[in-house]
Amino acid sequence: MTPTNLPSPNMITRILSRYRPRYVRSLIYMLQACEYSMSEYLAWYDRTKDFSSVERRKKLVKTPKVYLLYLFAFAIVIAALAFTYYAMLFADLDFRIIVLACVVFLLPYFLAYAILIPLALVKLAQIPAELFLTAQARKKLSSHKALKIAISGSFGKTSMREILKTVLSEGKKVASPPFSYNTPLGICRFINQLKGDEEVLIFELGEYYPGDVAKLCELIDPHVGIITGVNEAHLERFGTLQKTANTIFELADYLKKKPVYINGENEISRKKANTTLRNHIVYTRGGAGDILIQNAKSNLSGTIFRLQIGNDTFSVKSGLLGLHNVGPLAVSAHIAHRLGFDKKQIEEGIGKTRAFSHRMEPKEDKSGITTIDDSYNGNPDGASAIIEFLSSLKGRRRWYVTPGLVEMGPRTFEVHKEIGKKLAQAGIEKVVLIRNSVTQFIEQGLKEAQYKGEILWYEDALVAFAALPHLTVKGDVVLLQNDWPDQYV
């Protein structure tokens, strides 16, 4: 072998990373980060070269499932070593060489695929329990007297849920699944914990594949629907925006003549809404139904506007940042008004709305620097909303920190270039880009729009976060837009 054909040090390091003691931990972390989706895990494994650096942004969370996977993986390793030891003692030379070669070269790859076996067995074992749980939940919910509100959309479901819950809690007993529990199993567990005296139930409907929303509608049987919008989020799974839109609008198809609120500021939703139907209520920052919104303004202290319902007009203030929240707030006011809430209840309910965790959540440190945590915002509409908000802040230096968006599928290039153009048009002074497979397109958009600010590149988000305190000064606003999961490059 000539020197030019020798493996590079990087290649050797990558090969040896499969033999590190933490290799099993890396595999289990990859599964957990993919939410135990076998297809996503295998795709990540296939494109990973160095297994010493897969656990970077987050850490493995020890759960019973993780311990089960550890136990299974180490059982395989012990069995392989025991068989090798036996072969070395009693087998002939040729068989020893074959066994040793197989263990050394194939065991890491065998482990990577064999670790899926207990997951598959657990899923099979859970099927009867899940069927029972679903039947029990459907029966319990069918006799529940609460108003059931279902929310579907590519983005903004959790924010809409929390706005509704806050406002409607002023006059009703409201319950909803915690966090982003929007799958059949998560929703069933929530239903089976209900006390029965709830007056309003609010559900997020997760959409991962065509038919998902329709199945959840059959389980919940909602009375009111809200469609927050359709965009490229999860486009990798759906393939086309048309399939995405059709799946999300399964909620409107199910409700038929029952009321459905549709986000009119989202182009795809607006076009798909059937405005000839009285039950389709298109909402915007101008209002919803017979509610009129006027003089809406937003800054770092919140959002204010005038709300008119019939002959009643009054001023309200929300702790939410950004004019894109005015439409959802109008929906909450419209539903509350239909439920018989008075002016004071609606006003106080909207006044209690605050920024949600990691969703345009502002924090000012003792140095006078405001950081807006928008790390759970991973969609184009959300990015546009935050850029619009930043552009409205005058007299401050603004920083936009992003690794880009994931799962944009075939529209990855267009989406990110458009973000760059909007940043340039908004005049954002500093754009911090985390180097990966998509941020180069943001840079291209910035340059095409003749961006006059400064672009700063970092190889890693944590390094960028560590550098920011040394670069920012009092009065600066730093926006942290989206998180970049370890499974993406």
pLDDT tens-digit readout, 81-100: 999 988 888 888 888 889 88
355: left (phi over 0), alpha (psi -120 to 50) or beta: beta
- pTM for the model stands at 0.85
CA angle centred on 144, ends 139 and 147, rounded to 5°: 130
Q: Between 122 and 425, whose confidence is greater? A: 425
Q: Which CATH architecture has domain 144-351?
A: 3-Layer(aba) Sandwich (3.40)
Give me the mean pLDDT over the 403-416 stretch.
91
Instruction: Identify the pLDDT of residue 150.
Output: 98
The answer on pLDDT for 219 being more than 80 is: yes
Give me the mean pLDDT over the 172-183 stretch.
90
User: What is the CB-side half-sphere exposure of residue 314 using CA atoms within 13 A?
Assistant: 14
The answer on pLDDT for 167 being more than 90 is: yes
What order do you get walking across the sheet with 280-284 strand by strand?
174-175, 200-204, 147-152, 224-227, 260-263, 280-284, 287-288, 291-299, 302-309, 312-318
The answer on pLDDT for 147 being more than 80 is: yes
The residue ranges of every structural domain in the chain are: 3-114, 144-351, 361-481
Instruction: Identify the pLDDT of residue 276.
Output: 64
Strands (E) in 228-275, as ranges, are: 260-263
> Which of the listed CATH numbers 3.90.1150.10, 3.50.50.60, 3.90.190.20, 3.40.630.10 matches domain 361-481?
3.90.190.20
Give me the mean pLDDT over the 215-219 stretch.
95
Q: Which among 159, 95, 215 is positioned nearest to 358, based on CA atoms?
A: 159
Q: Which among 394, 396, 447, 393 is positioned nearest to 424, based on CA atoms?
A: 447
CA distance 113 to 110: 5
Burial of residue 35 (number of CB atoms within 10 Å: 0-12, 13-18, 19+):
exposed
Answer whether 280's CB lies under 8 Å from 244's CB: no
Give me the mean pLDDT over the 315-323 stretch.
95
For 370, phi then psi, to 5°, come to: -95, 125
Contacts of residues 411-418 at CB distance under 8 Å and 24 or more positions apart, as own/partner, are 411/232, 411/235, 411/241, 412/438, 412/441, 413/441, 415/232, 415/380, 416/441, 416/442, 416/445, 417/441, 417/442, 417/444, 417/445, 417/448, 418/380, 418/445
For the chain, what percent of residues have pLDDT higher than 90?
70
The answer on pLDDT for 383 being more than 50 is: yes
Reported as a pLDDT band with limits 50, 70 and 90, residue 8 is low
DSSP-derived 3-state class of residue 137: helix
Instruction: Identify the pLDDT of residue 488.
Output: 58
